[in-house]
Amino acid sequence: MHTNLVLGTTVAAAAIGYFFKPKKPKTELEVNSVPIPTVPSYLPLQVDSLLKYIFSVYAEKDEFEYLRHLSAQYGNTLNFRGFNEDLIIVLDPSSIQHILAKNQPNYEKGAEFQAIFHDFLGNGIFNADGETWKIQRHLARPHFQTSEFRDAALINRHVDELLKVIDKHLASNPEKPIEVQSLFCRFTLDEATEFLFGEAANALQDEDNDFATAFNYTQAITGWRFRVPLWRYVVPTRRFLKEIKKLDDFVYRIVDKGIAREEARTREQEKNPSDDEHGGKGGHENLLDHFLSQRQEYGFDREYLRDMLLNFLLAGRDTTASLLTFTVWELSKHPHVLEKLKREVAEVVASGTAPSYDDIKKLKYQKQVINEVLRLYPPVPYNTRHSVEEDVLPNGYYIPPNTTVAYGAYSTHRLVDLWGDDALEFDPDRWGPERVGKIKPFMFVPFHAGPRICLGQNLAYTTAQVTLTRLLQKYDIKASPGFKPELMADIVLFSRNGVEAVLVKQDLSEI
């Protein structure tokens, strides 16, 4: 995206499309509440503040540190206005709890959020409110129960393929750093598509995989829609819609095969009522079949199934890829943590064997490491809600009706007044038995919280732990000299320049 295009169209559209809104009389609730500190701006429609933020993203600076700097100046509840519209940012745990749990019905995704994501996600669970969201969540929950992936067999099968790709790289370039972010994105795409669709995308075998490329591009452009005011006029759509078509072609092909399979199964069951190959609802091998078994009852069409699958794919693929990426990054910088992890794996998992689900539960220090990565690098660093009615937060600040409210796990997880003077340091011991009691509810929300808490969080932990265990059994992890990631969030937290690490073959049984 060209800088002049962003500047010119944003300023021009602001100049001709918006006018100052007349002030509305204050309600009794507002009069008796505390006004939220507002980030000052000096140009009409707060154009200077908006452009400063856009440049902090576009000029390859750290947008998260920019927002942390604002909170340090104006507090943990602040109003970042643009085009005379409020964007209220909340970071304190009590306010996050209020929005996500205690008064959750008042805070919806909202029409603007849904418009931004609609081309990509349609009316799926990530983009839905009300009954649409409730039905999808109710139907999906059984497939994400722990029993569906206790033996971790599907995960281990895809880890086998991941290790083959790494070994191939090391065979030809043993000292060259590996860009692990791209590698983990392809790995989790394959694992997630099989778990959800029953058919893997095979991105690990093909770096230029059409579906993977389209998914990445679509996500990046959707991220810009989320950031840029007047996105309908600024963010390009021609290629975006072409890439959406590639996603649709892949998903609809699988959906149509699934519908044909389910219709054949239904006909067979009508002939032989006692023969149910799935053993009842909830026993299906993938999410698509799970939904298809209830298609007639709920009237799902192809588009509805497409939307649900892409929504769960976004949540399942990218969050785990982000978690694995930044875990490797932190381990490459902290060899003492890496050595302690290796010793734990060697003690718990028999040499030369893949970890079982029971093994994973015994890796206590590994879980501490992963929680610390999730604290510093929450996969969804910021999210938004839209207030339906006016409200007051627990700290007394007033929320107007019909207002966007953002809560930021990234910033909350790094607040010194919550986590101590070492809040920016990577320290898995803060999750140990001696200190974990200091972590209060809603201080740590990497998978959100309340009624919309992530259904796949247990699967994400399991995938990350199985994969990390297998990596530690086979490789040492070393830092790539001079490399530093540049954090960014399209929708999920990634590094715009990837993440490099040096992997060296080793035998864990000798440690």
The alpha-helical segments, DSSP class H, found in 228-284 are: 231-234, 238-271
Q: What are phi and psi of 201, to 5 degrees?
A: -75, -15
Q: Which residues contact 322 (CB under 8 A, 6 or more apart)?
A: 377, 379, 492, 493, 494
Task: Please provide residue 430's backbone torsions phi and psi, each rounded to the nearest 5 degrees.
Answer: -65, -15
The Cα 64–Cα 453 span in angstroms is: 23
Q: Contact at 8 Å (CB) between 503 and 476?
A: yes
Q: Are 173 and 161 in contact (CB under 8 A)?
A: no
DSSP classification of residue 450: G
Dist CA 494 CA 410 (whole Å): 12
Question: C-alpha 405: how far from its chain's center?
Answer: 18
Ligand-binding annotation for 185, yes or no, is no
Residue 20: closest CA among 83, 87, 80: 83
> Which DSSP state fits 99?
I
Distance separating alpha carbons of residues 302 and 294, to the nearest angstrom: 13
Q: Would residue 442 be called left, alpha or beta, if left means φ above 0 and alpha means ψ between -120 and 50 degrees?
A: left
Pull the structure tokens for residue 151.
Answer: 């033996």
Q: Which parts are annotated binding residues for heme? A: 454
Annotated binding site: which residue ranges? 454
